[in-house]
């Protein structure tokens, strides 16, 4: 049976499962979208590095990853979905299944690419962790995510938020393709997209984030009336002034 929303729904029903809103579970069910996603991953993949998949789910993306790469950490927090993944991929030497919250995941020692169909509700914390907080950052990110949130990451003045600055100082952001609601189960109310971020860090002054945080939390200030209207270059210039 060709992969689609009905097949996904049937597989969940066979296992007495329904998507859990608590975990923000959504499943990409369009083979063309998954194939395009894999091509984007391949376009920035570096040989002999690791791929880290956020949320293996029912393994639709995982299966395609295993056909193309040989060192994959697949994280899944849900007990029942983890059992399904284990049944499907336990004998696959390319895949290392990890039952863990991605927000608790300890980054690998080797270089890695972070990918996945991510739960919308952890987007902010996920980007903050891997683009700003961890010392060993991924050399690239490929996500299926909320298109509006992707646009926020790319935001320019007067709509340049702190998370926009985190993303833009981390690297180059591109919305590669739209993912319509009909390509996902359950259907979200918003358009999703395949988003690619290539690590190309901007050199920031040591006091950059102290400067940004101060003005965002205390605006309007003498120097900044609207923090969202400053932009990355403007914040660098302001931080360099001390």
pLDDT digits (tens, 9 = 90+) for 30-87: 999 999 999 999 999 999 999 999 999 999 999 999 999 999 999 999 999 999 999 9
The residue to which tokens 């605006």 are assigned: 219
pTM of the model: 0.94
Average pLDDT, the chain: 95
Higher pLDDT among residues 1 and 3, named by residue: 3
Q: Are 76 and 56 in contact (CB under 8 A)?
A: yes
* Lowest model confidence (mean pLDDT) among 12-26, 135-149, 155-169, 196-210: 12-26
> Where exactly does CATH 3.40.50.150 map onto the chain?
5-199
pLDDT for res 239: 97
Please state, as a whole number, how many other Cβ atoms lie within 10 Å of the Cβ of residue 226: 12
pLDDT for res 121: 84
Q: Are 133 and 105 in contact (CB under 8 A)?
A: no
pLDDT digits (tens, 9 = 90+) for 54-63: 999 999 999 9
pLDDT for res 226: 97
Residue 240 pLDDT > 90: yes
Residue 22 pLDDT > 80: no
Please state, as a whole number, how many other Cβ atoms lie within 10 Å of the Cβ of residue 127: 23
The CATH classification number of 5-199 equals: 3.40.50.150
Helix and strand tally (H, E) in the chain? 9, 9
Residue 130 pLDDT > 70: yes
Residue 163 pLDDT > 80: yes
> What average pLDDT does this structure show over 189-203?
96
With residues binned 3-state (H G I as helix, E B as strand, rest as coil), the percentages for the chain, rounded to 5, are: 45, 20, 35
Q: Are 194 and 33 in contact (CB under 8 A)?
A: yes
pLDDT for res 1: 59
Cα separation, 126 vs 63, whole angstroms = 23
> What average pLDDT does this structure show over 146-158?
97
Helix, strand or coil, per DSSP, at residue 179: strand
Residue 191 pLDDT > 80: yes
Helix, strand or coil, per DSSP, at residue 11: helix
């Amino acid at each position: 049976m060709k992969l689609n929303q009905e097949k996904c729904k049937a597989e969940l029903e066979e296992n007495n499962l329904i998507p859990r809103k608590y975990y923000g579970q959504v499943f990409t069910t369009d083979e063309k979208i998954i194939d395009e996603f894999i091509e984007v991953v391949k376009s920035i993949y570096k040989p002999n590095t690791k791929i880290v998949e956020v949320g293996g789910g029912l393994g639709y993306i995982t299966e395609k990853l295993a056909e193309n790469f040989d060192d994959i950490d697949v994280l899944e927090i849900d007990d029942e979905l983890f059992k399904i993944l284990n049944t499907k991929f336990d004998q696959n030497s390319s895949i290392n299944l990890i039952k863990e919250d991605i927000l608790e995941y300890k980054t690998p020692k080797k270089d890695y690419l972070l990918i996945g169909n991510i739960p919308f509700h952890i987007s902010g914390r996920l980007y903050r962790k891997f683009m700003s907080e961890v010392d060993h950052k991924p050399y690239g990110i490929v996500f299926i995510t909320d298109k509006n949130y992707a646009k926020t990451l790319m935001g320019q003045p007067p709509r340049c938020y702190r998370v926009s600055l985190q993303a833009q100082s981390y690297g180059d952001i591109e919305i590669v393709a739209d993912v319509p609601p009909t390509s996902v189960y359950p259907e979200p109310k918003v358009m999703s997209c395949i988003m690619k971020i290539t690590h190309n860090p901007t050199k920031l002054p040591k006091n950059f984030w102290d400067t940004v945080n101060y003005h965002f939390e205390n605006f309007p200030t003498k120097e900044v009336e609207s923090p969202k209207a400053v932009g990355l270059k403007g914040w660098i210039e302001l931080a360099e002034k001390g």
